[in-house]
Structure 1
Amino acid sequence: MTTLIDSAIAEYLLKTTAPRPQPHLLMRERLGSDGPSVRDYAVVVVQAPAGYGKTSLFSQWRREQLARGVAVIWFSSDERDDAQRFLLGLVQAVRSGCARPAFGRLLMDGGIAALGELEGITAWLAEVSQLPGDVLLIVDEAERLPEAGRAALAYVLHNAPRNLRIVVAARRGFDDIVGDLLAYGQAVLIGPDRLSFRLDETIALIGKRFGPRIDADACARLVQLTDGWPLGLQLALSAMTRAADPLQIIEAMASNTGALRDHLVGALLANLSDDDKAFLTCISIVDTLHPALCEALTGDARSGDRLARLMRETPVFVTSEASAWSRLHTLVREVLMVRAARLSDEELVRLHSAAAAWLSGQRMIEEAARHAHAAGQLQTAYDLAEACLHDAVKQGRLQAVLDWLDLLPEAELERRPRLRLAAAWALALGERHREAEQQVGHISAGQEEDRALRYECALILSAAAYYADEIDRFVEIFSPWIDQPPESGSWLVQAHANRLAARAIALGEPAQARRQLQRMPRGDVGKGVGFLVRWGDHIGALSYLWEGQIRLAGEILTPALASAEADLGRRHPLTCMLAAMAALHAYESDHADRAAALLANRLDVLERSGTPETVAIAYATAARVAAAQGQEHRAVDVLEALYAMGVMRALPRLCIVSLAEQIRLHAGHYRGATCEALMHRLDGAVAQAAPRHGPLWQRVVTPLVARSRARAAMASQNWPLALEALGETHEPADAQTLGRDRIEFMALRALALDRAGREGRALLLEAMNLAQAGGLARTLADAHPALMDWILRIAREEGDAGHAGYAASAPPVAHPAAPRAPSGPRAVPTVVLTPKEREILELLARNFSNKEIAVAAAIGEGTVKWHLKNLFGKLDASSRKHVVRRALVLGLLEGA
């Protein structure tokens, strides 16, 4: 027995030593060990497939708990850890992690053999309960434990003393063991969804490794390519680290060639058998996986077992604990689909036919239609598409409809009016609004008697006019139907309310817009109506932005954007439009980095599918963020791209916004000649567009042009001319209630009055108060740099705390005498070492001699020797250097 224990101790020294932390480990605040989602639970189970960063998360938790003075013990499981070996490992884990060589001496000296399995565990728990402080037990790879080892761990989980907290990592199936603890709220389960990297975490991770070389847009593309899969991100980062230009790696991963993807994914699949690789290639043709679907595709009754095994052994699946459905990670699936395309035509037809038949039987009509078309079953595919695409519009799956439009011949559209109606909807909600009008023309021919159809066509045409920025025509088309709502119970009821609200904003009545939306009961936001309800959220938030009530807009945007991202996806057009307004909210709240993250990898979607209002908001915000970050060249580039888009989409308002923002940018630097040239272009754009638009459109554009003219005069310091131009905006600004435009107008007029030698202070104070009330921290700062200087002087003179928001917007000035952060080795707070022992450990890590330690710690040399002896014993070390190394390994010392 003694020989067994001695040999096991040597082995368990490695099993109970925490793995080396990664040099670029990101401390994910959202998943902190004392976060609100896990803080109050004694048992935490982290369950996810391989590649989700469970061990990295535990390394973070270990560091956090050590820093709080908690003793952390680590145990890595394997297939041989029966109850006896598991107990042996727990004893050694306490000895190593708590630096207590005498812990469990009775158990190690033959007590394990004398006691039964559970009695030994009970004795271990009892001895742990006598430790002087809190203890965190981390059990990694718990799924590898044999049945007896699982039973022993379950006993520990159910009988842990108050000072013991336990976290367990497993790939699958461990939630069954702690099912009762989860049900009674004594444990919490963290699944793969929460472990996936979000964009802000990816930006932080890449920033630690590459600094400013990789911007937020590239980070967002990387998240899209990897689905936030931690292992996929790690593979990409490894390739980027080796490359001379890391951005080229992201471009290569996004390219159609897939050479780099194939190399990265090949490493994950290298150890699989040929049969397993063929199986994965075969099932990659479908979006989501089910054991029965895999069986239908392969014709093998054991396909479900193979799928389950591969899900356990390979890190290439996205799974759900509550469902039998899963899917391949995007990065892996695209490589496998390239391989699937090399299969013979007969095999591909067989696979798509089998998929279509099985999916159709499960009433997954849209997916079945795609596979039927790929199998050459065209009439079957058209029948299935006709049955589902109109519902796809209601649910916001517009791209699916547009994809089908490229596949449907004109003859089929003539035979199937519902397909043409779905196509018209999808075309109207984007840059192809002229094509939508053509489709409606085909639908309306000979259908004068069908009121419901005429009403839906009116909705489509008004949507097309809205996307074409023809505001007056939008109001005109929908006006006959204002008092003729659709029948209650129809999905069009919500669409009708949304359209009334959008019309109210166009008429300058934002409060009336919200009143129309409030008449609609929210109910449950499900896939059937969620898309339309979120359109209502979009319009409601826009009404608050129109009024300059940025805080109230944020209260709508935050939950609406989170819900849209979860259900529709990050790059869905409506999600991107919500994100554009959320970016404006973040920027006006003085969070430029968050605004940049919200817009990252979304501008291209807005370019194709955004409303003119949200496109203008997104690009103007992106330009202001770049300018605030000191990248004026980037800001000008973004605004020129907006101008080019306005030309391409025949949306002159985008050109006008682009030129106005460029004038604002240059006027702040008093570049008079440049502003004059831009003003000439702006006048030309307005003159060309104005005859084709009505008074509603011109009411939006006129104050923008007048403020730009005033800024151009300010750039040349012609203050009387600036006052004259600002006088032009007085009436339109008042018509826009208390919006950002009116507040900006007041501030600019106050500045012009002051520079012209007249009284403008009272007007500026009023603008400051209005901006503060609406949460507009950046509006006045961006209006003109001289305004910011004036505001700061007023704040200093009056000591007005109410203007602190604008004072905070000024760039911080570092004081030359500011103390620097301490550097060098630091002993973390812990119950393992006394405060004096921690102090001596730090000095030891600095290579101090005994005499130097005595002087620095203000103690005698004999006392130093006594403390060193205790350190040698607690850390099981044989030399001074060994003490420092052991402290580093145990996480008791940092920075050495």
Structure 2
Amino acid sequence: MSDSEITLKITPPRLPRGAVERERLMEFWDDVHERTAIQLVAPAGFGKTTVLLQWRRRWLEHGAVVAWVGCDAEDDPARFVTALSRSVHSASGRLGPGSTRSGIAALTDLLSEIAQRGAQTVIVIDEAERLPAATVRTCVQYLLLNAPANLSVAIGSRAALPLRVAELAAKGNLATLSTDDLRLRFEESLSILEKSLGPKLTLDERALLHEATEGWPIGLQLAIAMAEHDADPGAAVRSLSARRGHLQDYFVESLLSRLPASTVALLTRIAILDDVNAELCELVSGQPDGDAQLQQIIGETPIVIVGEDTDWVRLHPLARDFLLSRFEQLPRHEQSELHARVSHWYARHERFHEAARHALAAGDDLLSQTYASRSLWTLGTQGKIAEAREWLERIPAAMLARDSGLKLGAAFVLAATDRNADALPIAREVIDDPAASPASRVEASRVAAGATIYADHLGLLPELLARWLPMLPEHGEPLYAVSSLNARAMAALHAGDTRTLRELLDQAEHHGETGSLRLAAGLGRMLRAMSHLWDGNPELAAATLRHVVAQSEQESGRRSMVASLQASVLAAALLRVGRPGEALSLLANRLDVIEQWGAPDNILLAYQTLARSALGEGDERRALQVLEEMDALAERRQLPRLRIHSLADRIRIHAPHNARETISALTKALDETVAEMQRDELRPLLPECQLAAAIAKADAALARHAVDEAERLLDAGDALATSLRRHGDTRSIMTLRSVVAWKRGDETAKPLLKEAIHLATVAGDAWLLVHAHPLALDMAKDWEAGVVVAEPKPARASKLAAGPRPAVERPLLVRNGVLTSKESEVLGLLARGLSNKAIARILDVSGETVKWHLKNLFQKLSATTRKHAVDRARLLGLLQEG
């Protein structure tokens, strides 16, 4: 090997332009950078080399000697050791000839030299999967087993190397990053997109891009390259496809050109499968030895995703899209034959949803309908309502009419949609039929309960439950027991009996959460968090759901029904604890799912979160638009409760401006809609609607200085909130009562507000003062009632009353104030226009520390730029004017 070849092998590649340093991976480095072996194992495009280059820089900053070796198929043991020795000597500044021996003997000399030097030394071996087996078995293995204490070896490889590392792992000297570790998290994708495309994409479009690329770094970068050169980046994202442009070029160059023709042919045919195992490999290829075929595509392709169950793999969606375009070029008869084969296989394994889809693709409509009819129940229990609804529309009415079980399955699917009114009559017909079997009547009761909840007709639940519960012992299927407990929990929630709700959910959890219980168990967890929100304890609600949502996303996908509905509750909780950025990210590219498959409570929480986040930004126009959209949805779905909350929140937005005519029209509509709640099926929801109306009208009364009227409304609202145990509303009313007292000059104003602030602080409610009344924040500042501000001069109440509600993005109600002392110092210097370096010099800290404080400031102030952070701080009274 010539000197020039060695030089190229040991020279690290250029760090990609715009590469984002991922905090999570840097924290991993902090924990493991002194271990003997660190492996990064993932397919192409997952950023292994980029991470190694960033780690290399971090090691160098810590004074380590870092050697780099890029591998290829020609690296036999002698060549590999030669390159390794030259790299270590070059990195350490010792350019002598090195060992006069070769092979393992030379490697021994190199390790001895590293040990004698004593300095922390790192050897980075990139693209190690290209090494010949003999080199891995001898040199790399020897390197790891004989590494001195001051040597770390970092290995980047597309596939796990056949190394004996059990002893290293047992002694805590091995660390591994896998594909899932290197996959971009949602927030990381958003950060990269913000840096690359700025405001060119909406939050929903960024979420869509993350979901389409599934955290595949190279996929995201290719999509960014496509979007940034498009006149309409948003449209480009919405029509993202691997069948054209940069993505197609990537797959042609990295996939087709580098793989054997037999492997390309196999990939093209398995592209019709959602997931694939060895048996299906044999089926579509027509060749024996499916295990070998599966291992071949895992080892040779960068686009195969291996799940927790390693018997099954799937293609990355973008790669699958590209390969399907190739499949569609096959002769039509071959396509049909493959789909038919696969359909029969799925039917034999009782996976009727997939069997129906492939039968349809094979052109067998009748068989497709038969399989589809058998898939409805399973899809429904798994929460795959969209897929079930799609099949339902293909099943002939005659087939539904002659099969009562199928009709009930269809009714369950309809119950969880905007067609729930069609489901209740079907279910009632079975419930009332004395000839129906006990199992059919239990299933019908489940369908009827679901339909009433989705229609907001909770007044019908007691009668349904009275007939349903006695039948349960006759049918031992756990699903029906859990569903009945969930229905009773929903009734308990709106009665304000959250303690009973949680007792019911405790009973439901004993039945488990797998199989047919997945949907019911997921909804039960959501109800538990909803009960904490009802109690006015958003911090506990967020803690209850955070990991649950992540698990649901991992199991079913980010836009799955269960994950989206749980996210609507978690977003509401996070907003109230002062984390609006996270709340909006949770709802990104999910609102349509929540609208279509969510119960009224989910829809209400999602829309209120969006509206209140807009208010926090001072964007009243956007908040009103969101609330009007909710009103239109309420009209379409015939959900007057949603309309009441839309009207009430709009009144509260207009109240500080004393927009009398607008408020009068909204109040008239509010009173008329509240009157509708007197209907028997809606009556259980009447008290909470009256409560929302009372608070809104009290706000309006305060705006026109009708203090006595406001007090009467607040007294009525307080009684309602107390009876419903809605402690968050109780605190809001207490705050409004303090405003009433303040307007009267009553000495009770201060203790009332202090008590409300104390209760909110305990519950982690960051939005109390902002959402309660614009004067309340000024009053709190004046009295220093638990609110710490950087500006000694209080803002005037008239100023707040005349403008939009202040944009508080983090809790003002923490005992140590909004910002730490160091953050306040950084903010003050930022306001003077100083650079990070200048701030670091003045505060005598590192540049990284300044960046860390800025990140915290941006999060607390919900700011995106330095200027935005300063403007937000002035708005909040955290900086003196001028």
1-structure distance, mates of 2:664, 2:218: 53
Q: What is aligned with 1:147?
A: 133
Residue 461 of structure 1 deviates from its aligned partner by: 0.7
| CA separation of 1:793 and 1:268: change in aligned 2, threshold 3 A | farther
Q: Which residue of 2 aligns with 1:354?
A: 341
Identity of aligned residues (%): 30
Paired residue secondary structure (1:32): helix
Counterpart check, 1:808 vs 2:808: no
**Matched AA of 1:591:** R
Counterpart residue identity of residue 41, structure 2: Q
Corresponding residue number in structure 2 for 1:470: 457
Q: Equivalent residue for 1:121? A: 107
Q: Is the 8 A contact 1:45 1:175 kept in 2?
A: no
Offset at residue 483 of structure 1 (A): 5.6
Q: CA deviation at 1:306?
A: 6.2
SS of equivalent to 1:315:
coil
Report the equivalent of 2:357: 370
What's the secondary structure of 1:45's corresponding residue? strand
Q: Give 2:750's match in structure 1, choosing from 761, 780, 785.
A: 761
Contact 2:405/2:440 (<8 A) preserved: no
Q: Are the equivalent residues in 1 in contact too, given 2:208–2:238 (CA < 8 A)?
A: no
Offset, 1:229: 1.6
- Deviation by residue 1:136-160 (Cα, 9 ceiling, x = unmatched): 3221110000122212112112222
Query: Which residue number in structure 2 is paired with residue 889 of structure 1?
Result: none
The residue that corresponds to 1:232 in the other structure is 219
Displacement after TM superposition at 1:547 (Å): 0.4
2:396 to 409, 417, 431: 409
What is the aligned partner in structure 1 of residue 649 from structure 2?
661
- Which residue of the other structure, out of 169, 184, 205, is the alignment partner of 1:218? 205
Structure-to-structure mapping, 1:875-886, within 5 angstroms: none
In the TM superposition, 1:497-646 aligns within 5 A as 497-522=485-510, 525-646=513-634
SS, match of residue 152 in structure 2: strand
> For the residues of structure 2 that align with 1:37 and 1:660, how far apart are their CA atoms?
51
- Structure 1 pair 68/784, CA: closer, same or farther in 2 (3 Å)? farther
The offset of 1:455, in angstroms, is 2.4
Q: Out of 310, 315, 326, which is 1:328 matched to?
A: 315
State how far apart, in whole Å, the 2-side matches of 1:90 and 1:825 are: 39
Partner of 1:134: 120
Q: CA deviation at 1:540?
A: 1.0
Per-residue Cα deviation, 1:568-590 (whole angstroms, up to 9, x for no partner): 22111221111111111211121
Structure-2 residue corresponding to 1:712 = 700
Structure 1 contact 778–806 (Cα < 8 Å) conserved:
no
Q: What is the letter of the counterpart of residue 521 of structure 2?
A: V
Say which SS state the counterpart of residue 508 (structure 1) adopts. coil
2:635 equivalent in structure 1: 647
Pair 261,122 (structure 1): closer, same or farther in 2 beyond 3 Å:
closer
Question: After superposition, what is the alpha-carbon deviation per residue over 1:449-494, rounded to whole angstroms, capped at 9, x for unaligned?
Answer: 5233222211211111111111212333223434654455633222
Tell me the distance in 2 between the aligned counterparts of 1:94 and 1:459.
69
Q: In 2 relative to 1, CA 215–680 (structure 1 residues): closer, same or farther, beyond 3 Å? A: same
Partners of 2:512 and 2:521 within 8 A in 1: no
Which stretch shifts more, 425-434 or 443-452?
443-452
1:822 to 815, 834, 837: 837
- How far did residue 604 of structure 1 move? 0.6
2:286 alignment counterpart: 299
Higher RCO (CA 8 Å, separation ≥ 6 residues): 1
Question: TM-score, with normalisation over the residues of structure 2?
Answer: 0.85
- Greater Cα offset, 433-442 or 768-777: 433-442
Mapped pair 1:46 → 2:40: yes
Hey, what does 2:387 align to over in structure 1? Answer: 400
Aligned length: 812
What SS class does the counterpart of residue 188 from structure 1 fall into?
strand
Q: 1:775 offset after TM fit, Å?
A: 0.9
CA RMSD, aligned part only? 3.3
Larger Rg: 1
Deviation (angstroms), 1:334: 2.6
Q: Where do 1:711-750 residues align within 5 Å?
A: 711-750=699-738
Aligned 8 A contact 1:33 1:39 in 2: no
1:687, distance to aligned residue in structure 2 (A): 3.9
Question: Which shows bigger deviation, 690-699 or 702-711?
Answer: 690-699
Partner secondary structure for residue 305 of structure 2: strand
> Would the aligned equivalents of 1:676 and 1:712 in 2 still touch at CA under 8 Å?
no
The answer as to whether partners of 2:268 and 2:324 remain within 8 angstroms in 1 is yes
- Residue 752 of structure 1 aligns with an amino acid whose one-letter code is V
What SS does the aligned partner of 1:165 have? strand
Query: How far did 1:282 drift?
Result: 2.7
Q: Which amino acid aligns with 2:760?
A: A
1:79, distance to aligned residue in structure 2 (A): 0.8
How far apart in 2 are the matches of 1:560 and 1:715?
A: 42
Q: Displacement of 1:608 after TM fit?
A: 0.4
CA distance in 2, matches of 1:500, 1:796: 41
* Separation in 1, partners of 2:16, 2:661: 54
Amino acid at match of 2:404: P
> Is this contact kept in 1: 2:535–2:725, CA < 8 A?
yes
In structure 1, the residue corresponding to 2:379 is in which secondary structure?
helix
Contact 2:430 2:436 in 1 (8 A): no
Residues 525 and 533 in structure 1, CA contact (< 8 A), matched pair in contact too:
yes
Provide TM-score, normalisation by structure 1: 0.84
Q: Hey, what's the Cα distance between the residues in 1 that align with 2:553 and 2:284?
A: 31
Alpha carbons of structure 1 residues 338 and 712: separation in structure 2 relative to 1, 3 Å = farther
SS at match of 1:776: coil
- Which 10-residue stretch deviates more, 406-415 or 360-369? 360-369
Letter in 1 for 2:777: M
Distance 1:693 1:707, change over 3 A: farther
**Bigger CA drift: 718-727 or 756-765?**
718-727
CA distance 1:137–1:441, change in 2 (3 Å): same
Hey, what does 1:77 align to over in structure 2? 71
Partner SS state of residue 111, structure 1: coil
Spell out, residue by residue over 1:114-139, the C-alpha distance to the aligned partner (whole angstroms, 9 max, x if none).
xxx22222221222223343223221
Deviations 1:178-197 (A, max 9, x none): 45645665423322222221
SS of equivalent to 2:240: helix
**Cα 1:681–1:417 shift into 2, 3 Å:** same
Of residues 304, 313, 323, the one that matches 1:317 is: 304
Establish whether residue 111 from structure 1 lines up as the match of residue 101 from structure 2. yes
Question: Aligned in 2, Cα 1:592/1:14: closer, same or farther, shift over 3 Å?
Answer: same
Shift of 1:757: 2.5
Counterpart in the other structure of 1:883: none
Q: Which amino acid aligns with 1:101?
A: L
Indicate if the aligned counterparts of 2:731 and 2:756 stay in contact, CA closer than 8 A: yes
C-alpha contact (below 8 Å) 2:446/2:480 kept by paired residues:
no
Q: Is the 8 A contact 1:172 1:312 kept in 2?
A: yes
Alpha-carbon shift at residue 386 of structure 1 (Å): 5.0
Asked if the contact 1:736/1:742 (under 8 Å) is kept, the reply is no
Residues 679 and 712 in structure 1, CA contact (< 8 A), matched pair in contact too: no
CA contact (8 A) 2:786 2:815 kept: no
Comparing 368-377 with 423-432, which one deviates more in the overlay? 368-377
Gaps of 5+ in 2: 790-810, 842-882
Q: 1:252 aligns with which of 231, 236, 239?
A: 239
Match for residue 793 of structure 2?
none
Change (3 A) 1:145 1:254: closer
Q: Of the candidates 678, 694, 707, which is equivalent to residue 666 of structure 2?
A: 678
| Matching residue's letter, 1:452 | A
Alignment of 1:4-19 (within 5 A): 7-8=2-3, 10-19=4-13
d(CA) in 1 for partners of 2:567, 2:417: 17
Deviations 1:18-50 (A, max 9, x none): 221122111112222535875684322211111
Q: Specify whether residues 261 and 135 from structure 1 end up closer, same or farther in structure 2 by C-alpha distance, changes over 3 A only.
A: closer
- AA of the residue aligned to 2:109: A
